[in-house]
């Protein structure tokens, strides 16, 4: 096993957490289908998928650690480095671009002092420019963790961030 | 069987066979990167696109199979399929794919080890554009990645054909490699801390069509076009993988597997391959040695043989019951035959044994626990095999003279037996040892014969399956280091008995006389992949 | 002007519309009962075939025909061969947002369609693969599934019919390519979403190698309507190449962006100017992408066209997902295409050469053209590179990137050339109309 931080190590031995993994494993005709769901679980738990987690899932689901890593790096919602407490996702694809997403992104960059892909030094916010979120009629789309905000103005963004702070 | 046409060639091809295999089998070359005959079909590189009549777009020859049409639907009234590999569409597709493959490739051929055996280079000349239209900064990716103990990865040269990944998944079943990231940033990678470390890891460099995976040991050693090569057989276990030995000046720089469906498919183990590295550490003997009061003195071939014959004369004939010959299954058949000839002519009463040497277990792929290449050959010649681990000191009990060839007995003996063995060897009146270098056993000898290395001589060897293969020499040994059969010829001559001569050919003749299954074979019959002989009980 | 329909969207906007009781109050699950109790699987299949239900995911392949590719038990065999259905809820084609509407507002309509398809094909169950970025939708659909189990619409011996059927909800995790049917199946198997070589097709080798049928969310949602009202009723709506109701998603520069449920084959002009309220800012229309970002772009003079496969073919485009992206005269077409190529390059799975390398190259060429330093020859190069991608890849993502690239560069060639001549975007000074 890779060296893991104490909190990760503890979680990986927490019976409740392990039970959740077992439940996901049992939820599909074949356990391997549960991999992405388990990775979602880890991502939301640790805000990234630690190596120790990848190894644990590989063992539980009968895969090689390399395979799990290939999966983690393929899907954009999984990260190998921790994201901020709040993942700020601005849709940048054409319909939202036409709705003004550039202004939203620029506003966030200025306000937070970071570029897309970066995290504020206090670890609170990670800003990402994402592709189409499938709400093209109500762009610019702005998703904070799992909450989607539609047709946001820069004022809306300020209000949303203020409520988080 | 469906009748298909590929370009101008009419071919009867089995239903379900791929276009690529069919074309290659019939001498029609279709370029490819990701396809490999021993691996699953990926269809990823898109280099093998061909035009199949009726298909709306070009298809990959590697994955498109021969199909049959009903009699009334045949193309031109007779073909089940018409394939074009040279059409304008195909040429345009090939050019396009090559252009894409080279877009982000560093074009660092001058410092790339693959240069000279690189499929990107080769195809660029045949199928590619003369100049690049890429005017942007290339995508940078990790270089010189220490991906495994024997392999280095360069992600910029990599064309993501995934042969290496499929090799680790399908052949070694170790799964160390994966594609990571995606899009143009896709790379081959391992899990952190779990390197490409399996017993066959360097095969990934063999099958890498470009310079992305290279052998650490061979890196920067020599440009491949300066190498001299010889087809040989790996001497490191009873599998006897078909190999090519590549040498430059006086050094074997690498061993690479040769395709041999009945022995090793396309592969060989890293241990066997790294023989080249172990050879570098050895100090081969250049001159025959005779022990005097002040230690060894070096002789020449011409002066040594008479001394040897004279010293052993008292143990010949009836007295030879006090003689023991310890051979090695590292000797090719011709050397074993020479030892038999020596026994028959000079030491008829002598005991002759071949110790079997085992280590570990057979693996699921190639590696055999029998660590010698020619034990099967020894048993075909009817030689007495000493079981693995049998005590060695008792072999010399009551003996006065011994000949020990190509084995260091101290390396074979159990730790607890070494003292007794040393005593037994020291108690002999005359110990003759022959080997590539002076081993601890050789150091105790009165006469030491420098023997040509496996890479320095010709010979036949029989693997555990009964496949007889021939080695060729990639390096010429110095004047006084010779195959054992050469020494035997000279010994017999010096002893007044006529020998067949020092060359390989007459000793091959002797082998044929002793092994009926080989009686009607010529040297060329063993090339390139050997022949499997029926089980023979001597 | 056609009145908007309330068929697929019949429950949208109702209070508590996602609850099974709400769904059943207006006749929900009656079509399922009809299918299970009054129709054989073959009759259901034939009804869907007769309705000529076209796939709503993009390819407009006839759903009934697709279902019939699945193996059925042969005479004398006791058990149906194992097979699965898959519902593609990985809605990620830019400009497409109709499935989200159904999932979040009327999950039982989708579920009922899946169940009827399950009966028709005698499948063992269905994987509902939903975009990772729609956690809310996943929760809503899972709740709908739980409710259906509780009511006996899912599980063993459904409504006493002897038919067993399960539904498994699985989430994606941020990969457009998983909307491609075989990439989705790879993803369901816990792998990187890399499309498979075809053949074999999913009907022979699908999830876990088991024969599988995959349809889009909206496609399944049409099925209860067909069973309830019959194929003749269904084909009386829409056009021969796109029968039935269709959800048109309109985004970009219109006054009322949104989802409009209208008959298949309605005119694009009608959608833009009557339903979506005309062009934002009352400015001239410049370009329309009719069926999601992968479909070839149309100029303003090409919108008098039926929104169905036959109609759009006449102007060199495709119906795709019917996600209409509208651009007025403030939009730079190079910038718009650059945006799309950024998308395709980022979403290319990377396994096959033309798409991996080509989309990235196109992105670089377009960025230079837009930001300065482009050459006139770049315009032809864009077309050539795209043509070298087109039809040469494992999956349709290559074509999906090449088609907009070729069409933008050809339809708006003068504007592309002007970028090269000027050495930068000639529209840099025109503020683009935006909502915010």
What is the pLDDT, as a whole number, of residue B129?
84
- Whether the per-residue pLDDT at C112 is higher than 80: the answer is yes
Encode pLDDT of B292-337 as tens digits: 999 999 999 999 999 999 999 999 999 999 999 999 999 999 999 9
Angle between helices C135-150 and C107-121 (to 10 degrees): 60
- Chain Cα centroid distance, residue B121: 26
Nearest CA in chain B to C351: B44
Residue A1 binned pLDDT confidence (cut-offs 50, 70, 90): very low
| The pair of three-digit structure tokens given for residue A11, joined into one six-digit string | 């979680």
Segment 75-134 of chain A within 8 Å of chain C by CB: 75-78, 89, 92-95, 97-100, 103-104, 130-134
Q: How many residues does chain C have?
A: 436
Nearest CA-CA distance, residue B462 and chain C, Å: 43
- Which residues does B contribute to its contact with A (CB < 8 Å)? 174-182, 189-194
CB C332 within 8 A of CB C381: no
pLDDT tier for residue B535 given thresholds of 50, 70 and 90: low
Q: Where is C263: in which H helix or E strand?
A: strand C258-263
Compute the distance between CA of residue C248 and CA of residue C257 in angstroms, rounded to an integer. Answer: 10
B175/A67 Cβ within 8 A: yes
Mutate to test the interface with A, among C131, C210, C251 (most CBs of A within 10 A): C251
Order across the sheet with C258-263: list the strands.
C258-263, C245-252, C323-328, C285-289, C298-299
Whether C346 and chain B come into contact, CB under 8 Å, resolves to yes
Reading the block at residue C126, the tokens are 């269905």
Do C350 and B181 count as a contact with CB atoms less than 8 A apart? yes
Q: Could A28 and C168 be called an inter-chain contact, meaning their C-beta atoms sit closer than 8 Å?
A: yes
Is residue B43 within 8 angstroms of chain C, CB to CB? yes
CA–CA distance from A145 to each of A124, C208, C351 (Å)? Answer: 12, 32, 30
CB C413 within 8 A of CB C377: no
Q: Report whether B389 contacts B371 (CB < 8 A).
A: no
For residues B161 and B183, what is the distance between their CA atoms, to the nearest angstrom?
Answer: 14
Cis omega (within 30 of 0) for bond into B439: no
Q: Of A29, A70, A94, which has the smallest distance from its Cβ to C95's Cβ?
A: A94
Closest Cα of chain B to A2: distance in Å? 8
On chain C, the residues whose CB falls within 8 A of the CB of B89 are none
Q: Which of A32, A37, A136 sits opposite C171 (nearest CB)?
A: A37
Find residues 38-57 of chain A whose CB sits inside 8 Å of chain C. 39-40
Strands C323-328 and B151-153: unpaired
Q: Is the peptide bond before C199 cis (omega within 30 degrees of 0)?
A: yes
* Separation between Cα atoms, residue C353 and residue B33, nearest integer Å: 11
CB–CB of C359 and B183 under 8 A?
A: yes
Most B CBs within 10 Å: which of C350, C381, C385, as the mutation test of the B interface?
C350
* Subunits with 3+ C-beta pairs closer than 8 A to A: B, C
Residues 6+ apart with CB under 8 A from B41: B18, B35, B62, B63, C197
Are residues C99 and A76, on separate chains, in Cβ contact within 8 Å? no
Residue C159 burial (10 A CB sphere; 0-12, 13-18, 19+): middle
Which tens digits make up the pLDDT trace of B14-48? Answer: 999 999 999 999 999 999 999 999 999 999 999 99
Phi and psi torsions of B456, nearest 5°: -115, 10
A140 upstream amide cis, omega within 30 of 0: yes
> Contact at 8 Å (CB) between B214 and B354?
no
Sign of CA dihedral B311, B312, B317, B321: positive
Q: Taking CB atoms and an 8 Å limit, are A64 and B175 in contact across chains? A: yes
The answer to whether B104 and B184 are in contact (CB under 8 A) is yes
Shortest Cα–Cα distance, A164 to chain B (Å): 32
Fill in the DSSP letter of residue C306.
B
Q: Which two structure tokens, joined as six digits, stand for B165?
A: 């990944």
What's the pLDDT score for residue B132? 85
Q: Do B191 and A69 touch (CB under 8 A)?
A: yes
**Nearest CA distance, B147 vs chain A (angstrom):** 13
Q: Are the beta carbons of B176 and A66 separated by less than 8 Å?
A: yes
Structure tokens at A156: 């809306």
pLDDT of B538 reads 43
- CA distance linking residue C352 with residue A13, whole number of Å: 40
Closest residue to A51, CB basis, from B177, B180, B192: B192
In this prediction, residue C239 carries a pLDDT of 97
CA A23 – CA C169 distance, rounded (Å) = 13
Give the strand pairing for C84-89 and C125-130: parallel
Q: Which residue of B has its CA nearest to A58?
A: B191
* Beta pairing, strands C84-89 & C212-216: parallel
Asked if A67 lies within 8 A of B177 by C-beta distance, the reply is no
Q: List, in sequence order, every beta strand (DSSP E) within C221-322.
A: 238-239, 242-243, 245-252, 258-263, 285-289, 298-299
Does the model's pTM come out above 0.90?
A: yes
Mention every residue, 6+ apart, whose C-beta is less than 8 A from residue C374.
C365, C368, C419, C420, C423
Query: pLDDT tens-digit profile of B392-427?
Result: 999 999 999 999 999 999 999 999 999 999 999 999
User: Above pLDDT 90, what percent of chain B?
Assistant: 96
Q: How far apart are CA C265 and CA B264, in angstroms?
A: 62
């Amino acid at each position: 096993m890779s060296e893991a931080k104490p909190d990760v190590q503890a979680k990986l031995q927490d019976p409740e957490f392990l039970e959740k993994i077992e439940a996901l494993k049992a939820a599909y005709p074949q356990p391997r289908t549960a991999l992405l769901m388990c990775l979602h679980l880890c991502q939301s738990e640790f805000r990234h998928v630690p190596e120790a987690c990848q190894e644990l899932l590989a063992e539980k689901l009968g895969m090689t650690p390399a395979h799990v890593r290939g999966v983690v790096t393929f899907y954009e919602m999984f990260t190998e480095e921790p994201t901020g407490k709040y993942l700020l996702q601005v849709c940048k694809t054409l319909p939202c671009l036409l709705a003004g997403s550039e202004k939203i992104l620029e506003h966030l960059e200025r306000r937070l002092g970071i570029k897309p892909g970066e995290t504020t030094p206090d670890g609170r916010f990670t800003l990402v420019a994402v592709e189409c979120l499938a709400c093209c009629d109500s762009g610019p789309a702005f998703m904070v963790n799992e909450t989607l905000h539609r047709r946001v103005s820069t004022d809306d963004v300020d209000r949303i961030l203020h409520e988080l702070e | 069987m469906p009748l298909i046409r590929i370009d101008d060639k009419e071919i009867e091809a089995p239903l379900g066979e791929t276009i690529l295999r069919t074309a290659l089998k019939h001498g029609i070359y279709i370029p490819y990167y990701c396809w490999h005959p021993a691996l699953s079909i990926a269809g990823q590189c898109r280099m093998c696109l061909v035009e199949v009549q009726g298909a709306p777009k070009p298809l990959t020859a590697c994955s498109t199979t021969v199909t049959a049409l009903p009699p009334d639907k045949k193309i031109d009234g007779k073909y089940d399929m018409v394939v074009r590999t040279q059409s304008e569409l195909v040429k345009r597709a090939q050019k396009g794919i090559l252009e894409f493959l080279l877009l982000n490739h560093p074009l660092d051929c001058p410092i790339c080890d693959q240069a000279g055996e690189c499929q990107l280079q080769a195809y660029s000349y045949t199928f590619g554009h003369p100049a690049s239209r890429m005017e942007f900064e290339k995508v940078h990716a990790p270089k010189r990645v220490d991906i495994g103990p024997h392999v280095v990865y360069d992600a910029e040269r990599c064309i993501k054909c995934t042969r290496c990944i499929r090799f680790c998944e399908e052949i070694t079943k170790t799964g160390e490699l994966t594609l990571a990231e995606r899009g143009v940033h896709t790379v081959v990678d391992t899990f952190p801390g779990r390197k490409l470390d399996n017993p066959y890891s360097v095969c990934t460099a063999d099958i890498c069509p470009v310079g992305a995976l290279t052998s650490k040991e061979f890196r920067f050693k020599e440009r491949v076009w300066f190498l001299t090569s010889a087809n040989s057989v790996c001497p490191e276990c009873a599998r006897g993988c078909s190999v090519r030995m590549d040498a430059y000046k006086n050094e074997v720089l690498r061993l690479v597997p040769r395709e041999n469906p009945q022995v090793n498919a396309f592969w060989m183990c890293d241990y066997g391959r790294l023989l080249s590295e172990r050879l570098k550490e050895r100090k081969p003997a250049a001159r025959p040695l005779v022990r005097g009061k002040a230690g060894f003195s070096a002789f020449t071939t011409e002066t040594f043989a008479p001394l040897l014959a004279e010293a052993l004369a008292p143990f010949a004939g009836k007295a030879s019951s006090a003689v023991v010959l310890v051979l090695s299954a590292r000797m090719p058949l011709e050397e074993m035959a020479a030892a038999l000839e020596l026994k028959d002519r000079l030491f008829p009463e002598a005991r002759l044994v071949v110790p079997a040497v085992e280590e570990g277990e057979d693996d699921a792929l190639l590696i055999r626990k029998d660590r010698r290449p020619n034990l099967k050959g020894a048993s075909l010649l009817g030689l007495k095999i000493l079981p693995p681990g049998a005590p060695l000191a008792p072999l010399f009990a009551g003996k006065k003279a011994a000949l020990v060839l190509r084995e260091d007995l101290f390396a074979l003996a159990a730790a607890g037996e070494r003292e007794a063995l040393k005593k037994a060897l020291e108690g002999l009146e005359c110990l003759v040892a022959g080997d590539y270098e002076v081993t601890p056993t050789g150091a105790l000898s009165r006469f030491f014969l420098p023997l040509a290395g496996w890479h320095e001589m010709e010979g036949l060897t029989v693997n555990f399956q009964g496949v007889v293969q021939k080695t060729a020499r990639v390096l010429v040994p110095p004047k006084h280091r010779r195959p054992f059969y050469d020494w035997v010829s000279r010994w017999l001559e010096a002893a007044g008995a006529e020998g067949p001569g020092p060359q390989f050919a007459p000793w091959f003749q002797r082998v044929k006389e002793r092994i009926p299954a080989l009686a009607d074979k010529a040297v060329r019959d063993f090339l390139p992949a050997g022949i499997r002989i029926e089980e023979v009980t001597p | 002007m056609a009145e908007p329909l309330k068929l697929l969207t019949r429950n949208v906007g109702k209070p508590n519309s996602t609850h099974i009781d709400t769904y059943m109050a207006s006749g929900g699950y009656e079509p399922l009962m009809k299918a299970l109790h009054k129709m054989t699987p073959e009759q259901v299949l034939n009804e869907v075939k007769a309705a000529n239900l076209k796939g709503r995911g993009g390819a407009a392949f006839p759903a009934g025909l697709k279902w019939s590719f699945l193996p059925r038990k042969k005479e004398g065999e006791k058990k149906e061969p194992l097979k699965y259905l898959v519902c593609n809820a990985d809605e990620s084609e830019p400009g497409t947002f109709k499935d989200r509407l159904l999932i979040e507002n009327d999950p039982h309509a989708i579920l009922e369609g899946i169940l009827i398809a399950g009966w028709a094909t005698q499948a063992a169950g269905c994987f509902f693969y939903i975009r990772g970025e729609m956690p809310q939708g996943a929760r809503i659909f899972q709740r709908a599934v739980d409710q259906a189990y509780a009511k006996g619409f899912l599980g063993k011996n459904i409504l006493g019919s002897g038919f067993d059927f399960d539904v498994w909800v699985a989430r994606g995790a941020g990969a457009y390519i998983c909307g491609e049917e075989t990439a989705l199946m790879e993803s369901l198997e816990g792998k990187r979403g890399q499309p498979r070589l075809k053949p074999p097709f999913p009907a022979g080798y699908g999830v876990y190698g088991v024969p599988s049928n995959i349809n889009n969310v909206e496609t399944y949602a049409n099925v209860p309507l067909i069973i309830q009202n019959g194929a003749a009723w269904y084909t009386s709506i829409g056009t021969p190449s796109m029968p039935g109701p269709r959800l048109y998603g309109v985004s970009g520069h219109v006054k009322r962006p949104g989802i409009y449920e209208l008959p298949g084959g309605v005119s694009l002009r009608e959608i833009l100017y009557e339903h979506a309220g005309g062009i934002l800012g009352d400015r001239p229309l410049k370009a329309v992408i009719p069926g999601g970002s992968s479909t070839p772009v149309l100029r303003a003079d090409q919108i008098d066209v039926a929104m169905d496969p036959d109609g759009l073919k006449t102007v060199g485009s495709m119906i795709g997902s019917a996600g209409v992206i509208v651009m007025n005269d403030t939009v730079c077409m190079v910038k718009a295409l650059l945006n799309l190529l950024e998308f395709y390059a980022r979403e290319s799975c990377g396994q096959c050469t033309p798409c991996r390398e080509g989309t990235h190259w196109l992105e670089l060429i377009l960025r230079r053209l837009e930001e300065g330093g482009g050459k006139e020859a770049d315009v032809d190069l864009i077309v050539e590179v795209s043509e070298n991608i087109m039809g040469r890849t494992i999956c349709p993502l290559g074509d999906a990137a090449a088609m907009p690239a070729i069409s933008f560069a050809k339809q708006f060639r003068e504007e592309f050339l002007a970028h090269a001549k000027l050495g930068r975007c000639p529209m840099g000074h025109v503020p683009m109309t935006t909502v915010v």
